[in-house]
Chains A and B, each alone.
Chain A
Amino acid sequence: MSENSINHFEQCIKCTVCTAYCPVLGVNPAFPGPKQAGPDGERLRLKDKFYYDPSLKYCLNCKRCEVSCPSGVKIADIIQSARRRFNDDTPDLRDRVLANTDFMGKMARPFAPLVNKVVSLRPVKKVMDVMMDIEQERTFPKYRSKGFDAIFRSDFAPYQNRFPRHVAFFRGCSTEFQHPETGIAFVRLMNAVGIGVRLLDEKCCGVALMANGLWHHAEKNARHNVKVFSEAVAGGLPVVAVSSTCAFTMRDEYPGVLEVDNASVRESITLAEKFLFEQVDSGRVKLVFRKDYASRIAYHIPCHMEKLGWSIFTKELLQMAPSISLKVLDSNCCGMAGTYGFKKENYPYSQAIGRPLFEQIKSLSPDVVCCECETCKWQIEASTGYTVLNPVVILAEALDIEATCAANGGFVKA
């Protein structure tokens, strides 16, 4: 039976393995668990939508059930798709605010210092908690006055034409609005190995829209992105992202949950670590690392990175640096799951899910934690106090840029 069949849930043989790996099931008894919410529930829902259970909203969509399933059932896809098809609740203001990462970013940017200040004030947090059910213990990531796009245009765009080949960079909302340094590190890395960077006319990948029930909007973004990617791919450019969740969503959730066909571009959507590793592995690119860069790094593999199966690329790349000592953390969800952990009703579960991870990090006491997902970063930084960096940032720091440029015919503006 095809894995895209509507009756794909019938591949489930009720072995219960997924229930042993669901991070929510361990902390929130109101969640029926992947087996029951997914394939078991689906056969009932197909009969009558009356059987749709609103507690499906507790699913983090971490995909750990799918990674563990011996029968190849797309359990979390079944759950998310059921939410899309059967949940009639209109998203409230809170969900809209959390979901529209790009719109909120654009609105906040002109007033960034003020917005950052205001939303971090205790009384304001309290009001948001009471009025909007946004957990007051959470701190919003800071918006930047100058976004990545503007920085790129002024500092990097002018000389990108001098490179013989290029990649299309999907920067994602967090690089654009909160962490432009990740994008800058990416451009420096690419330029150092002799590859130019082009920006895309991208829209938010849609992951937060999907999580908050704004399905129509997510689908519109997906269609837009697939169209933009097709143009890039037709021009021979791979689409490279720096956020594992963006890459995962655009590759797998577009067809699996949103039913947006991305077959023509899917293989070209990649992550910086995978792209760079393949370049090195095939001998097209050579990395030269600094001798004086020493760091003890704890690598947290985000759930969607586990699902993509690409952590091997990050590990291999980081281990190329002679003075990085790398410890891969146990495979655990951090509990944030994008906007999930910001919601007041989820906050205690979010922290309970992440606890084993936080404890392991604290016991290791690394120089820095590394992961490819920005919301894992927010969660780990807030819950452990350790700095979390995207691997791209670490690689750009660990690299001897001058020597790498020389080895690859690259160029990086000082």
Chain B
Amino acid sequence: MRFDTVLIGGGLSSLVCGILLQREGKKCLMISAGQNALHFSSGAFGLLGCMPDGTPVDAPFEAFSALAPSHPYRKIGRTLCESYADAAVPFFASCGIPLQGFGRRNGFRLTASGSFKRAWLAFQDVPFFSSDDALDGKRALIVTLDGFLDFYPEMLSDGLRRRGVESRCVSVHLSCLDALRGGPGEMRSVGIARILNRETNWKQFGREVRALLDGEDLVIVPEVFGLEDRIVNEWIAEMIPAQVLYVGTMPPSVSGIRVQRLLKNAFIQAGGTFLMGDTACDPEWAPDGTVRCIHTANLGAPGIEADSFVYAGGHLFGRGIESHPDGFSDPVFGLDVVCDADRASWVERGFFQAQPYMGYGIGTDERFRGLKDGRTVENLYVAGAQLAGCNSLQEGSGAGVAVMSAMHIAADILKRTENVGE
């Protein structure tokens, strides 16, 4: 079996890269071992929320020059990053995912604890503001659902109070959720969203909230709507005579799942082949050190050949890199993982401190081609969370690195085949 490009991983980075390539007529195969980090999405994409030392960042592109030269953004360069950023919004819109943002500056996303976090772009149904004082002086009604344990109104209320936003917490009893509430299973965001997707049910919710409203300017509800289509969120907002804000819950992320499905559909619609629940393994190498073909656990013996391979297997959670008592490794290609040799320095003692191990990843050259024993593998690119050189959790840069590296790699692959064509 032969493809132009094989992408390993089915998350944000792989999907963006795959869609861009497939739309340019490249025959792509995507191999995804289980679902991905979009299922835990906050509803917003971070680019650079703060510097590695914790200093908050308002103008991320201007801050790139202060990052280490090994940081993915430095490898791409500010000018190209800015052009990719400009391309990102129309790109996601073309996949059915409208995003909101504030140009070159960070916006502020309201979190479930009532604080504001810096982010680059946000899904349309996420409360996203140009400054962290956007809600100051307002009054809010925070609504949860009886029996739902993955959303904490009091915590949210407490966080808002510190900003001078007064709020009242209420819980709504919806009879359509009785079966879910009384059942032996867990009452999770997606289960609720499935039920509230039905018109009679979300209308019941809208009516109950409208009745509870007592002059508040804001209504804050958990994001348990819009699993299929975010139009439901807009319809509910229309029913309620106040500004309605949907705030993320504990996983799974309803909006993240929707976005993942839209991206996957865009890839398939463009003609891409998606292998779900399969694992890449046993690469075969050509004499010149490039990857000749890859195998998968499900497909077995026939190798999958390609001109180029994009490895976007995620971080430790996605098992794109693995930890062992004596170090870290790449489970598929055996590429070099950049990490501290001394186990004692992998972690910081303080739970909320930046954890060094979160910054470990696969080493690459300037074009994001993986290094194996220090040498560049010419046709194997590494994208997204798997890349070394950034602590995305600390920086709030996970989605930014995923999207930028994916766009950079897609451009490189397209340029390279153009050159061959000449």
Tell me the A residues contacting B by CB distance below 8 Å. 13, 15-17, 19-21, 25-26, 29-33, 35-36, 53, 55, 66-72, 267, 278, 281-282, 306-310, 312, 315-316, 328, 331
Contacts and interface: CB of A to CB of B under 8 A. Distances in A.
A13 B34 CA distance: 13
Nearest to A41: B184
A68 B185 contact: no
> Which bracket fits the contact residues of B?
35 or more
Given A19-B188, A308-B298, A309-B277, A29 B36 contact: no
B188 A67 contact: no
Given A26-B191, A33-B185, A70 B296 contact: no
Interface string B179-191: 1101111101011
B273 A29 contact: no
A315 B271 CA distance: 12
| From B188, B268, B319, residue with most partner A Cβ within 10 Å | B188
B185 A32 contact: yes
B299 A309 contact: yes
A70 B273 contact: no
Given A16-B251, A310-B298, A29 B185 contact: yes
A86 to B, nearest CB: 16
B186 A306 contact: no
Contact of B184 (A17, A32, A308): A32
A67 to B, nearest CB: 3
A309 B33 contact: no
B184 A71 contact: no
28 contacts: A13-B317, A15-B40, A16-B186, A16-B188, A20-B190, A25-B185, A29-B179, A29-B180, A30-B183, A32-B186, A35-B186, A36-B185, A66-B277, A68-B276, A69-B35, A70-B33, A70-B34, A72-B34, A267-B300, A267-B301, A281-B1, A281-B302, A306-B276, A306-B277, A307-B277, A309-B275, A309-B296, A309-B298
Contact of B317 (A70, A308, A310, A316): A70
B194 interface: yes
B302 A17 contact: no
A72 B179 CA distance: 30
Contacts of B179: 29
Nearest to A31: B185
Interface string B152-187: 000000000000000000000000000110111110
A19 B194 contact: no
A315 B185 CA distance: 37
Nearest to B277: A67
Contacts of B257: 20
B184 A53 contact: yes
Contact of B277 (A32, A53, A68): A68
Given A69-B34, A70-B319, 15 more contacts: A13-B317, A16-B252, A17-B34, A19-B188, A29-B179, A33-B185, A35-B186, A53-B184, A70-B35, A278-B301, A308-B298, A309-B278, A309-B299, A328-B268, A331-B276
Given A29-B185, A32-B184, A36-B185, A71 B298 contact: no
Nearest to A270: B300
Nearest to B34: A70
Contacts of A29: 179-180, 182-183, 185
Interface in B257-279: 257, 268, 273, 275-279
B367 interface: no
A282 B318 CA distance: 33
Nearest to B195: A26
Interface in B1-38: 1, 33-36
Nearest to A328: B268
B39 interface: yes
A19 B278 contact: no
B35 A312 contact: no
A20 B276 contact: no
B184 A312 contact: no
Contact of B35 (A17, A36, A331): A17
A310 B298 CA distance: 7
Contact of A312 (B34, B190, B268, B275): B275
A67 B276 contact: yes
Interface in B39-54: 39-40
Contacts of A33: 185-186, 191
A309 B40 CA distance: 25
A30 B184 contact: yes
Contacts of B35: 17, 20-21, 68-70
Contacts of B275: 309, 312
A93 B278 CA distance: 39
Contacts of A315: 273
A314 to B, nearest CB: 12
A306 B277 CA distance: 8
A282 B302 contact: yes
B242 to A, nearest CB: 30
Interface string B269-308: 0000101111100000000000000001111111000000
B27 to A, nearest CB: 12
A72 B194 CA distance: 25
Contacts of A312: 273, 275, 299
A29 B195 CA distance: 11
| From A15, A21, A309, residue with most partner B Cβ within 10 Å | A309
Contacts of B301: 267, 278
Nearest to B254: A20
Contact of A17 (B191, B194, B252, B273): B252
B296 to A, nearest CB: 7
Task: Give the 7 A-B CB pairs with smallest separation, nearest first.
Answer: A309-B298, A67-B277, A29-B183, A70-B34, A29-B179, A33-B185, A20-B190
B3 to A, nearest CB: 11
B127 to A, nearest CB: 23
Interface in B180-215: 180, 182-186, 188, 190-191, 194
| From A13, A17, A20, A53, residue with most partner B Cβ within 10 Å | A20
Given A17-B252, A267-B300, A312-B275, A72 B182 contact: no
Contacts of A53: 184
Contacts of B296: 309
Contact of A68 (B34, B278, B317, B319): B34
Nearest to B150: A16
Contacts of A308: 298
